[in-house]
Amino acid sequence: MGADHDRRTHRRPLRAGLLFGSCGLLLAGCASMPDSGNLKAVDASQRPDSQSQVRVYAMPPGEDAAPLEIVQGFLEALTSDDPEFAMARKYLTKEASKTWKPDLRTTVLENGPSTGSGSVGDAENGRSFPLTGRTVATVDKEHAYQLDNDAYNKSVHLTQQDGPSGKEWRIDRVPQGVVLGQSDFQRIYWSVNKYYFATRSSGASATPAATGGGQNLVADPVYIRQRIDPVTETVKAVLDGPTTWLKQVVDTRFPTGTRLKAGTKTLAPDDQGKLTVPLNEKADPINQERCTEMAAQLLFTLQDLTSSGVEEVELQRRNGSQLCVLSKERAESVASRRTADQPDYQYLIDNKRRLVRMSASGGGKDEPVQGKLGSGGQPLRSAAVSRDEERAAGVSLDGRSLYMGSLVSPSALGKPEVRSKAKSEEDGLSTPSWDGRGDLWVADRDPKRPRLLWLEQGAGEPLPVEISNLDGRIEAVRVSADGVRIALLVKDKDGKKALKIGRVERTGAKGEQPVISVVELRRAAPQMEEVTAMSWAGGSRLVVVGRESGGVQQMRYVQCDGSVPASATLPGLTGVKEIAASEDERQPLLAHSDDGIVRLPTGAQWQTVVKEGSAPFYPG
């Protein structure tokens, strides 16, 4: 990906670079250093595209290595598959190694750290080298990815110490944490969704919309080193609790202070896919119901870690006795990552301005929905269907009225639930969005009174939502299925639209009308100069349409934390106006393009399904 381009002219000789151990496609991976054959040192910026086939080994400092070679060797060692950074520590003095904490943070730079030629100094005073670059993000101790755009400006200092063959240069002052380039970060780290329960006050409802009667779980994305015991690290991350940004609206069933039993070094499933997790004394007194909820958190998280092979989780007390066992088959009865069953239909507005539906299986033609919104009596420009597919909200053609209609009975349409006073049809109400609780959200884009509105169960008085640090006008709104996050397209004063993700909080006494607020807005898809369409595409992922500075329109996946998964770009499509994805990631993408309404099945190309129509969407 060229992320380390700036480092190439300042690298130490290749004899002290990284070593790559090649692994066959059908092998589990390279478990150790080869003991024979020719080993070739490889520049870290020239890595193969097939990252899953290689493991990267660092090399120790060479004899009589110059200061610049030591600095570059240390930086290369940070990008290797070394569990405890043992090789990187060989470039440090003993005292520096004791105080250096690589797990404190990971700093991701756009093009990797660049070193200068080093400051002039004598052997007595040592040498200093700058480490500079443009920061893209940091990954903190919680494994949480946080966007950053600051200049990175640190330094390392070297001194000479006595070695086996005389004086040798070593680093005696080093920045805390690890610093590397984007391409190395994407090779080394995996994005994994941890799962926690939505709080009753702020998340999705406990059972009404959840599949199988289980309580709804919320995805909390973190980054784990993918080749360094990912199962154990993922379990530890779940036990540590939710990340700071999300913890106000989710709960963990693990008692405070629950950790792995002392002395537990590594976890791995057996041949039948059963993972045994021994816990410390904090978990000893819990009951069976709570234990199965704890097991569900781990099981769903490890299912997201596709390489884990975990089919069943057993939790044990400190003394080795069994707390509970939960299989993948039973997990959906305890908790669910989805708020609805697989959708029966896909929806759109046809050329007669009616709400119509198509079979989600891909067969058959489009047909008007039952009820008034499918009759054409009230022309529509956009609509949204509840996740149980029993109700729909439609926005009138002029954008000034929002109507509610049943999809299971021929009841009258009734008066508008929301009215906008916008004078221009380009303004008015946005496409509405249903959350997993059955509540409805819509933005009024009236320039004189822009606001975000919330309707409990899609009816009653629309309540304005408080939004902190909103700089611009909301153009589009999509609420995540779990109901605790909201994606907003916000237009700034220059007319450009950016994707913002906010946390949904509900406050107020039990039984009273809650106060709804959106807090801590953070930008997603920062690499795009403008985002023109978006949709949630899973627990923590969105699909977006936009363009980079000076670039052409493109579609890609992004994480709600702002990170971009590997191979995130989707097949090209001309003139995309709207995009839609299902909560069920197995369902094809939908888009409104110059070719009409199109679908993208897994492993296929875009296929036209309706020549004339607009505003395609899935329930939600």
The residue type of 388 is D
Task: Average the pLDDT over 375-401 and give the result.
Answer: 95
The distance between the two most distant Cα atoms of the chain, rounded to a whole number of Å, is 92
pLDDT digits (tens, 9 = 90+) for 183-240: 999 999 999 999 999 986 544 443 344 444 468 899 999 999 988 899 999 999 999 9
Query: Which two structure tokens, joined as six digits, stand for 532?
Result: 């023109």
The yes-or-no verdict on residue 12 having pLDDT over 50 is no
Lowest mean pLDDT among 60-69, 203-212, 230-239, 563-572: 203-212
> What does the angle CA 376 – CA 432 – CA 613 come to, to the nearest 5 degrees?
45
How many angstroms separate the CA atoms of 356 and 368, rounded?
A: 4
Q: How confident is residue 340, by pLDDT bands cut at 50, 70 and 90? A: low
Average pLDDT over residues 465-494: 94
Helix (H, G, I), strand (E, B) or coil at 446: coil
Mean pLDDT check: name the lowest of 22-31, 480-489, 579-588.
22-31
Domain borders along the chain are 5-175, 190-336, 345-617
Mean pLDDT of 280-293: 96
pLDDT of residue 24 exceeding 60: no
CA distance 242 to 559: 17
Quick check: 92 and 172 in contact, CB under 8 A?
yes
Dihedral angle over CA of 587, 591, 595, 599, nearest 10: 0
Share of the chain above pLDDT 90, in %: 69
Q: What pLDDT is stored for residue 215 in this prediction?
A: 80
Query: Where does residue 510 rank: exposed (0-12), middle (13-18), buried (19+ CB within 10 A)?
Result: exposed
* Per-residue pLDDT at 557: 93
Mean pLDDT over 406-410 rounds to 89
Question: Is it the case that residue 11 has pLDDT exceeding 70?
Answer: no
How many Cβ atoms sit within 10 Å of the Cβ of residue 54?
20
Confidence class for position 2, pLDDT limits 50, 70, 90: very low
Question: Taking a C-beta distance cutoff of 8 angstroms, is the pair 490, 474 a contact?
Answer: yes
> In Å, how far are 36, 85, 211, 216, 422 from 292, measured between CA atoms?
49, 36, 17, 14, 51
Decide: 71 and 173 in contact? Cβ < 8 Å: no
What are the phi and psi torsion angles at 530 (to 5°)?
-150, 140
SS3 69: helix
Residue 451: exposed, middle, or buried by beta-carbon count in 10 A (0-12, 13-18, 19+)?
middle
For the chain, the average pLDDT equals 86
The CA distance from 174 to 441, in Å, is: 50
Amino acid 16 reads A
pLDDT of residue 118: 65
| CA-to-CA separations, 528 to 138, 497, 498, 544, in angstroms, rounded | 19, 10, 8, 10
The two three-digit tokens of residue 555, written as one number: 């579609």
Within 10 Å of residue 121's Cβ, how many Cβ atoms? 14
Whole-number pLDDT of residue 204:
42
Q: What is the dihedral of CA 470, 474, 480, 486, to 10 degrees?
A: 10
- With bands split at pLDDT 50, 70 and 90, how would you rate the model's confidence at 33? very low
- Using alpha carbons, list the distances in angstroms from residue 480 to 354, 439, 488, 503, 528: 26, 12, 11, 10, 21
Assigned CATH class of 345-617 = mainly beta
* Residue 413 scores a pLDDT above 50: yes
Q: How far is CA 254 from CA 243, 294, 335, 514, in A?
A: 15, 6, 15, 28
Lowest average pLDDT, out of 122-126, 194-198, 555-559, 586-590, goes to 122-126
Please name the residues in contact with 140: beta carbons below 8 A apart, sequence gap of 6 or more.
Answer: 105, 146
Interior angle at CA 318, CA 312 and CA 320, nearest 5: 60
Taking residues 509-514, report their average pLDDT. 79
Beta bridge partners of 194: 220
* Strand ranges inside 8-52, DSSP E: 18-22, 41-42
What is the mean predicted confidence (pLDDT) over 108-112?
A: 94
DSSP symbols for 107-147: EEESS--EE-S-----TTT-EEEEEEEEEEEEE-TT--EEE
| Whether residue 548 has pLDDT greater than 50 | yes
Strands 250-251 and 189-198: antiparallel
pLDDT above 70 coverage of the chain, percent: 86
* Token output for 533: 């369409």
* pTM of the model as a whole: 0.86
Give the tens place of pLDDT for each residue, 368-379. Answer: 999 899 998 999
Lowest mean pLDDT among 69-73, 118-122, 595-599: 118-122
pLDDT of residue 134: 96
Tokens of residue 191, six digits: 């994005």
Q: Which band of pLDDT confidence, cut at 50, 70 and 90, is reported for residue 267?
A: very high
> For residue 19, what pLDDT band results from cuts at 50, 70 and 90?
low
Rg, the chain, Cα only: 27
Q: For the chain, how many residues are written? A: 620
* Pairing of the two strands 166-173 and 151-163: antiparallel
Secondary structure tally for the chain: helices H, strands E: 7, 41
pLDDT for 122: 60
Counting beta carbons within 10 angstroms of the beta carbon of residue 564, is it exposed (0 to 12), middle (13 to 18) or buried (19 or more)? buried
Q: Which two tokens stand for residue 4?
A: 């380390």
- DSSP type of residue 303: H
Residue 345: the pLDDT is 93
pLDDT at 285 over 60: yes
* 435-471 residue pLDDT tens: 988 999 999 999 999 999 999 999 889 999 999 989 9
Output phi, psi for 213, to 5 deg: 80, 0
Q: How far apart are the first and last CA of the chain?
A: 36
123-156 pLDDT, tens digit per residue, is 567 899 999 999 999 999 999 999 999 999 999 9
- The C-alpha atoms of residue 10 and residue 44 are separated, in whole angstroms, by 12
